[in-house]
Structure 1
Amino acid sequence: MQLATVLSEAVEVQDIVKIVCSPVMSAFDAEGIALLTVDGARLRLLGHRGLTEEATRMIDGRLVDTTTPAARCILEQEALFFSSPQEMDHAFAGWSDRSRLSAFALMPLTALGRPVGCVAFGYREPHRFGSGYRTLFTSLSGLLAQALDRAQLYDTQHQLARRLQDLLLPTALPEIPGLQVAARYRPATRGVEIGGDFYDLIRLDSGCAAAIGDVQGHNVTAAALMGQVRTAVHATAGARPDEVLTRANKLLTDLDAGLFTSCLYAHVDFAAHRAVLATAGHPPPLLLDPEGQVTILDVPPGPLLGIEPGALYTPMEIPLPPGSALLLYTDGLVETPGTDIDVSLAELADHLQRAAGSPPDAIADGLLGQAPGSTAGTDDVALILIRREDDHH
């Protein structure tokens, strides 16, 4: 196994930890290993194997000073090698008993001239660290430092973007008399993990409006643009669906963000028992009628938001009597590489029809559970299910 290749392919910090605690540990015949990083003024233990609980307590959370081997290694940016218990205890009194090791080596991890942590290798018996060992340790530390620095940056960006996306999605949907609602959002579990999927439910005097959309891309820009689109849709809710999309499209083309957005908007009129829908390049919604039959609605297609400044959208009116439901979703619910989209849509319709008698929350959970890549998805999934309650409910 080429450690350089494995490290170069690592994305997250936990990927680095797994590599250190398995192939790296084995490659150096170590019986204990620890990976630490600098977190402000303290050391944080990212992962370890073969260390005593006392040893981990003595290093995790410690100030970056010179009272522990790891802290000294990082602070002075110096590799430390101790071939026997006597050498260990001479430098740091009592460390052989605390660690139950007879030899260990510590290598500083430095990226772009900045200390990012250290890696420690432990041995149960005295161990001579010859020039060959030291050269290998030094080479590894350089590769490991770059990989860890890159992974920490990735994790930080991901956390910020995820937080941004969470803030932009509705924390709770409004309770609307006569309407049962279930919404779900599942972030991708692989890759960049940040997308621009959004959904919304808006209370209106005559009923409600539901919207769902997907901004192209998987980064902070996509998440931020998603918030702007959702705000634009929310601000114009109550107008005809085609007008809502026209105004949102004008916003995106004026912003010239270089990202395109699909969006589906539905206006539900309770008194008239109908819904009016318009789409901007979004997957077709599904209608579940009171008898439990499912129809894939062929809403007249309109261009994605953000492409054509003067784009027009054509509304479609459908009956929505009590007991019927609408399912709006993003493409992560149906798209599978190598599978025809019509086949996936038919399967989704079948799942919805078989779950027709269940409460909306149970239906939503079931649909999410059968979505492509439900355990290792590469795309976000959002869905919102709205069901008119029966008159006798």
Structure 2
Amino acid sequence: MVDRGASALSLPDDWPAHPDPILALNRMGSFDWDLDTGLMQMDAQAHEIFDVRPDEYDGRPETLAMRVPPGEAVRLDAMVSQALKDGSENYGAYFRIRCRDGSPRWTHTQGYIRRDEIGRPRRIIGIVRDATQELSESSARRERAAQDAVRRQQTSVVQITTAALAHARTVQDVIDVLDDTDGLTHLGATSLVMGLLEAGRIRMVAAGPADSYVPGTRVTRLDARFPMNEVVRTLAPHFIESPEEFAESYPDLWPHITDLNITSAAYMPLIAQARPIGAIGLLYNDRHGFSPEERNVLVALGSSIAQSLQRAMFYEQEKDLAQGLQQAMLPRTIPSVPGADVAVRYRSASLGRDIGGDWYDLIPLPGGRVGAVIGDVQGHDTHAAAVMGQLRIVLRAYAAEGHTPATVMARASVFLHELDTERFATCLYAEADLATGVMQLVRAGHIDPLVRLTDRTCRSIPVEGGLPLGLSAEFGRLEYPVTSVELDPGQTLLLCTDGLVEQPGADLDEGMHTLRDLIATGPDDVRDLADRLIDVAEERGGDDDVALLLLRRLGGAAEQSGGRLQQHVAPGDPEALTEARHMIRAAVRAWGAGERADEIELAADELITNALMHTEGSAIVTLRVLAGPARRLRVDVEDSSSALPRRREAGESGVSGRGLMLVDMLADVWGVEARGGGKCVWCEFGVPGRD
């Protein structure tokens, strides 16, 4: 205590003059400390508070050292000295004393400093009181407040974690939520482990820290002596409250985790719909034991995790089923096509478990031709996928039979209508002759295709279209116009479904503009370009599937001088004959021979009609541009009959016999060639060269 140089002991005449009954009633003692003499007088209540008898106290503050521990005495002396120096009028402090029986007692003192006219401290008058009960109650309140805060924090973590788990779709999503720094780590867990029950075994799906799997624990038998296996067997949580308990209970596991400095652990079974699906463990390195409240919180958290985990497992099962069905409906492989690089991609909708009706196909055809198909059946369910699978197969069959693109589309529409389903489908079919680059395009309610030119610019190909498949048959509008264009070497054709074009909050035109920019700035290789487009679609998300087919024509510039188309015309198929005429007309104009279009079409029509009337089989029509000094267009009509055509005169009333006469008059030259078991009747027309 502060020593002001005490002299001989003398008591002031007025001490104490009138003891204050209020202080006594409040169990307060008073003191009067004369700073000049250093003596501090205390009343009887103060003696009782300090637990000293009157004969034990000589009025000197340092005598109280028998009750005030040295550390507390130093602290009090420093506080009083500071108050005297800085001009304070009072001070107050809590300090501990040691009673006669050795028990501690909290004491509170409040002192009032009296100064003379020049501000020099002369006297301190104050009180002391027993504050043990006060501080005990305060400490209890603080402890309860701290417990309430911890409980609120734990409840908040459970609520936050449960809310985050509600958005988890996959098992990995659940693991990421639990391992997040804002998740279970707020409960003080150092790391977590989680295992799933599969076929009577526990498969570890998470272990922290990363790459800290204990050897031999990735897949364990259910009866193995590990804590997760035990809680799955017993369906009861297990709380390990000390390292010694851990080492004793699981001697095979403990040596492998000693480096983690684990002091306690909590393992909970994950139970959903009254059956175990796995277990989770939380490991701590700064906790010994668990209070009842903490155990309840962890058990509740385990229940929430189990429900989320079961949803994630169901989601993944449904997604795997949907993707498996979708992949089964799509072509298993895409054939290699001479003269072209081809890439296909498919992305399921962001909804994940929904299965869509988008599809693509590539169909090798005779004569170096290839058919490219893109389509989308209405809906996102197994019915849509089943319809898609059937439609893809029949469309492929119609194309392989040699029907014209328009006939292929019309027959596919009739087939879909006869399935007695309410679904319709959009589709685009492109038949390309890779030797010449001539393409015939037919569109059924689908978006237009795109082409990337050799200068890397990208544009849409406007294709006159018809109604979607199924609807055109229902309304009796099976006419599908054919658009003929040329794909030069180095150019890339892109067919896609609208999931690649549509963007949230943007119209279709804006989406097409964005897609053209992506294609124009994309890689040259069609596989790399397809990957980039599908990655963009993945990042953008969306509720629709995406099917994509890219075809890049190979070859040199010299091949551009020619052109070749081929068409199969079956007997008794007036639609096929009509489509053949349309093909001839469109091709002749596309090849720059429009001045002789009528002549070529009439001559070809006569040859096709003769083949169908005078043979029992079908006819194959081929149009070719022959390069050379004099550019010529050649029409070949093949049939399976070896009987050669005869030119004969028709009578005045005859309705036949004029076909070859017309061919002879219209064509520059014509002839007949034997073709194995059949023949080919051909004719050629001189056409002007192209600029």
Specify the TM-score bucket, using the shorter chain as the normaliser: 0.7 to 0.9
**Residue 284 (structure 1) aligned with residue 448 (structure 2):** yes
| CA distance 1:51–1:77, change in 2 (3 Å) | farther
Aligned to 1:69: 227
Q: CA deviation at 1:234?
A: 0.8
Using the alignment, how far apart are the partners of 2:160 and 2:521 within structure 1?
Answer: 50
Using the alignment, how far apart are the partners of 1:256 and 1:65 within structure 2?
Answer: 55
Aligned to 2:603: none
| CA distance 1:27–1:291, change in 2 (3 Å) | closer
Using the alignment, how far apart are the partners of 2:184 and 2:518 within structure 1?
Answer: 47
Does the aligned pair in 2 maintain the 1:73–1:118 contact within 8 Å?
Answer: yes
Range with bigger deviation, 117-126 or 168-177: 168-177
Q: CA deviation at 1:24?
A: 3.8
Please point out which of 473, 480, 485 is paired with 1:314. 480
Does the aligned pair in 2 maintain the 1:211–1:264 contact within 8 Å?
Answer: yes
What is the SS of the residue equivalent to 1:62? strand
| CA distance 1:351–1:125, change in 2 (3 Å) | closer
| CA distance 1:129–1:259, change in 2 (3 Å) | farther
| CA distance 1:52–1:10, change in 2 (3 Å) | closer
Range with bigger deviation, 215-224 or 78-87: 215-224
What is the SS of the residue equivalent to 1:30? coil
| CA distance 1:16–1:313, change in 2 (3 Å) | farther
Aligned to 1:175: 336
* TM superposition score normalised by structure 1: 0.86
Please point out which of 387, 394, 405 is paired with 1:241. 405
| CA distance 1:277–1:148, change in 2 (3 Å) | same
Aligned to 1:261: 425
Aligned to 1:163: 324
Using the alignment, how far apart are the partners of 2:164 and 2:528 within structure 1?
Answer: 41
| CA distance 1:128–1:327, change in 2 (3 Å) | same
| CA distance 1:70–1:288, change in 2 (3 Å) | closer
Using the alignment, how far apart are the partners of 1:266 and 1:77 within structure 2?
Answer: 61
Aligned to 2:513: 346
Using the alignment, how far apart are the partners of 2:211 and 2:462 within structure 1?
Answer: 64
Aligned to 1:79: 237
**Residue 336 (structure 1) aligned with residue 522 (structure 2):** no
Range with bigger deviation, 270-279 or 135-144: 270-279
Q: CA deviation at 1:106?
A: 1.0
What is the SS of the residue equivalent to 2:166? helix
Using the alignment, how far apart are the partners of 2:341 and 2:442 within structure 1?
Answer: 20
What is the SS of the residue equivalent to 1:59? coil
Using the alignment, how far apart are the partners of 1:252 and 1:274 within structure 2?
Answer: 29
| CA distance 1:220–1:60, change in 2 (3 Å) | farther
Query: Alignment RMSD, CA only?
Result: 3.1
Structure 1 counterpart of 2:345, which letter? Y
| CA distance 1:65–1:366, change in 2 (3 Å) | closer
Structure 2 counterpart of 1:334, which letter? V
Q: Which has the higher contact order (CA 8 A, sep 6+)?
A: 1
Aligned to 1:303: 467
Structure 2 counterpart of 1:32, which letter? S
Q: CA deviation at 1:308?
A: 6.0
Structure 2 counterpart of 1:228, which letter? Q
Does the aligned pair in 1 maintain the 2:430–2:442 contact within 8 Å?
Answer: yes
Using the alignment, how far apart are the partners of 1:75 and 1:322 within structure 2?
Answer: 69
Does the aligned pair in 2 maintain the 1:96–1:102 contact within 8 Å?
Answer: no
**Residue 33 (structure 1) aligned with residue 197 (structure 2):** no
| CA distance 1:51–1:279, change in 2 (3 Å) | closer
Report Cα offsets for 1:136-184 as digits up to 9, x if no partner.
122112211111111111112222322333333334333333x313223
Using the alignment, how far apart are the partners of 2:360 and 2:350 within structure 1?
Answer: 22
Does the aligned pair in 1 maintain the 2:406–2:482 contact within 8 Å?
Answer: no
Please point out which of 274, 292, 312 is paired with 2:438. 274
Range with bigger deviation, 377-386 or 125-134: 377-386
Does the aligned pair in 1 maintain the 2:194–2:281 contact within 8 Å?
Answer: yes
Q: CA deviation at 1:294?
A: 4.6
Range with bigger deviation, 284-293 or 120-129: 284-293
Report Cα offsets for 1:49-104 as digits up to 9, x if no partner.
248836x3353200111521111101121111111123323433354443332211
What is the SS of the residue equivalent to 1:2? helix
| CA distance 1:208–1:155, change in 2 (3 Å) | same
Does the aligned pair in 2 maintain the 1:183–1:382 contact within 8 Å?
Answer: no
Please point out which of 297, 306, 328 is paired with 1:136. 297
Aligned to 2:595: none
Aligned to 2:306: 145
**Residue 385 (structure 1) aligned with residue 550 (structure 2):** yes
Does the aligned pair in 1 maintain the 2:409–2:480 contact within 8 Å?
Answer: no
| CA distance 1:86–1:112, change in 2 (3 Å) | same
Report Cα offsets for 1:158-212 as digits up to 9, x if no partner.
22322333333334333333x3132231424843164433211111124221101
Does the aligned pair in 2 maintain the 1:36–1:117 contact within 8 Å?
Answer: yes
Please point out which of 371, 394, 398 is paired with 1:209. 371
Report Cα offsets for 1:316-373 as digits up to 9, x if no partner.
22232543543211223222112221122234334545669x454455455445x445
Could you tell me which runs of 5 or more consecutive residues in structure 1 were left unpaired when the two chains were aligned: none
Using the alignment, how far apart are the partners of 2:193 and 2:215 within structure 1?
Answer: 12
Q: CA deviation at 1:115?
A: 1.0
Q: CA deviation at 1:290?
A: 6.8
Does the aligned pair in 2 maintain the 1:278–1:315 contact within 8 Å?
Answer: yes
Using the alignment, how far apart are the partners of 1:313 and 1:81 within structure 2?
Answer: 75
Range with bigger deviation, 94-103 or 142-151: 94-103
| CA distance 1:376–1:351, change in 2 (3 Å) | closer
Using the alignment, how far apart are the partners of 1:313 and 1:80 within structure 2?
Answer: 73
Range with bigger deviation, 101-110 or 219-228: 219-228
What is the SS of the residue equivalent to 1:57? coil
Using the alignment, how far apart are the partners of 1:282 and 1:157 within structure 2?
Answer: 29
Report Cα offsets for 1:34-55 as digits up to 9, x if no partner.
111111121111113248836x
Q: CA deviation at 1:245?
A: 2.6
Using the alignment, how far apart are the partners of 2:211 and 2:436 within structure 1?
Answer: 71
| CA distance 1:50–1:78, change in 2 (3 Å) | same
Does the aligned pair in 2 maintain the 1:20–1:35 contact within 8 Å?
Answer: no
Using the alignment, how far apart are the partners of 1:163 and 1:295 within structure 2?
Answer: 35
Please point out which of 232, 246, 251 is paired with 1:93. 251
| CA distance 1:313–1:64, change in 2 (3 Å) | farther
| CA distance 1:142–1:201, change in 2 (3 Å) | same
Using the alignment, how far apart are the partners of 1:365 and 1:18 within structure 2?
Answer: 27
Higher Cα Rg: structure 1 or 2? 2
Using the alignment, how far apart are the partners of 2:211 and 2:442 within structure 1?
Answer: 63
Range with bigger deviation, 295-304 or 119-128: 295-304
| CA distance 1:162–1:271, change in 2 (3 Å) | same
Range with bigger deviation, 230-239 or 68-77: 230-239
Using the alignment, how far apart are the partners of 2:528 and 2:311 within structure 1?
Answer: 40
User: What is the number of equivalent residue pairs in this alignment?
Assistant: 389
| CA distance 1:303–1:131, change in 2 (3 Å) | farther
**Residue 230 (structure 1) aligned with residue 378 (structure 2):** no
What is the SS of the residue equivalent to 2:505? coil
Q: Aligned residues: percent identity?
A: 31
Does the aligned pair in 2 maintain the 1:192–1:218 contact within 8 Å?
Answer: no
Structure 2 counterpart of 1:61, which letter? V
